[in-house]
Amino acid sequence: MSSITYFFLQLSLVASLPVFAQINQPEFTTQILDTIDIGYGLAIGDVNGDGHPDILLADQKEFVWYHNGDWQRFVIAKNLTERDNVCLAATDINQDGKIELAVGAQWNPGETSDTTASGSVHYLIRPHDPTQLWKPIQLHHEPTVHRMQWVATEDGYRLVVLPLHGRGNKNGEGKGVRVLAYHPPQNPDQGWKTSLLDSTMHLTHNFDVSDDSTVFIAGKEGVKQISYQNNGWQTNPLPQLAQGAGEVRRGFLTEDHPFLVTVEPMHGNQLVLYQGENYGERSVLFDDLKQGHALVCADLLGLGRDQVVVGWREPNQQGKVGIKIFIPVDEEGDGWMHFWIDEDDMACEDLKVADLDQDGDLDIVAAGRATKNLKVYWNQRIMDSD
């Protein structure tokens, strides 16, 4: 497949083609949760153990969470480092019904050598009352810490941390980025061991974690796939994904038909689809992003195949920021439609999807940088009745 068809929603055409009969325009209602400073990163998880997913936010100087239902805001940590916060990772790693939380701060991308002036990694110990401030435990870090996620492996959870640059890097050249996995000890106050996933990429930006312990890292050299197998990290080369990329996510059209989507180049304008053997078939889905910075693959519409949600943070050629959803019209991925989720009121820095109201479908949470807003887009999909 050398090219792909994507549709700019000419509704008369859509109505006339049987293949589109089952795809209606998605319906979301919007709720503004808060006014924020930057909104560097989002996470979803049950903070207080009440069985409902809460929203967590890495804002400029505070890490906060919003209680599901009334969306009351609580500060987890503030002024953790001299410079800005930048990322967080929240997952229930000990299966007690409440998330464990790690965070990254001291955001200073221009300083790639001095660990006292650039980067931090902290594990936060919850108090008895999670609405109070949490206790930070400072861990080893590389400079320019930028993204982190918990990864479930056959040997337990690992906290994978991705810096933006390698040590001493200038303009994306020099030493490779040291991507580290942190091993949580039984007592988090004790020393945390680390293991190395990779150190061959330069100027990395974001990564995706799949349920099978596979990590996809996007950066200057394209996308690299790393899996945890036989008690160690194994690399699977993806030679067709050699274009520089800032965001990457994996989705599925069917169980046996995975695909990857990227934002290219880093902070770029293109939404790109890769599918086929070893993800070797490349197609551009959309080329009017500006500072593309948020990406999710999930089935929000109950189609049995994943859709792609993408957000960008600076006005594009139409002068608009926002979020769009891209919908594959069939299981082959040869045709895609796209619709606005938010047209020009969300300079999207990050977004996540989760069933926040637990009605059986996925909602969208987004944080806006220039628009300084935190919003929920409630999915109004009509569920099938029994």
Residue 12's pLDDT is what?
29
Structure tokens at 251: 């989705």
Share of the chain above pLDDT 70, in %: 93
Q: Which amino acid is at 344?
A: D
Nearest to 45 by CA among 73, 68, 69: 68
d(CA 296, CA 260): 11
Higher pLDDT, 386 or 185: 185
Eight-state DSSP code of residue 110: T
Q: What integer is the mean pLDDT of 329-350?
A: 96
Is-cis flag, bond preceding 265, omega within 30?
yes
pTM score > 0.85 for this model? Answer: yes
| Averaged pLDDT score across all residues of the chain | 93
Closest C-alpha among 59, 69, 167 to residue 119: 167
The total of other beta-carbon atoms located within 10 Å of residue 338's CB is 19
Tell me the pLDDT tens digit for each residue of 48-105.
999 999 999 999 999 999 999 999 999 999 999 999 999 999 999 999 999 999 999 9
pLDDT, one tens digit per residue, over 196-208 is: 999 999 999 999 9
Burial class (CB in 10 A: 0-12, 13-18, 19+), 57: buried
Q: How far apart are alpha carbons 181 and 168 in whole angstroms? A: 21
Across 321-331, average pLDDT: 97
Q: What is the pLDDT of residue 383?
A: 62
Which of the pair, 40 or 15, is modelled with greater confidence? 40
Kindly state the average pLDDT of the residues 33-58.
Answer: 98
Q: Which two tokens stand for residue 65?
A: 């969470």
Cβ pair 216, 208 in contact under 8 A: yes
Confidence of residue 17 (pLDDT cuts 50, 70, 90): very low
Q: What is the DSSP letter of 277?
A: G
Predicted local confidence at residue 11, as pLDDT: 34
pLDDT tier at 385, thresholds 50, 70, 90: very low
Other Cβ atoms within 10 Å of 318 Cβ, number: 11
Q: What is the pLDDT of residue 22?
A: 65
What span, in angstroms and rounded, lies between the C-alpha atoms of 179 and 201? 9
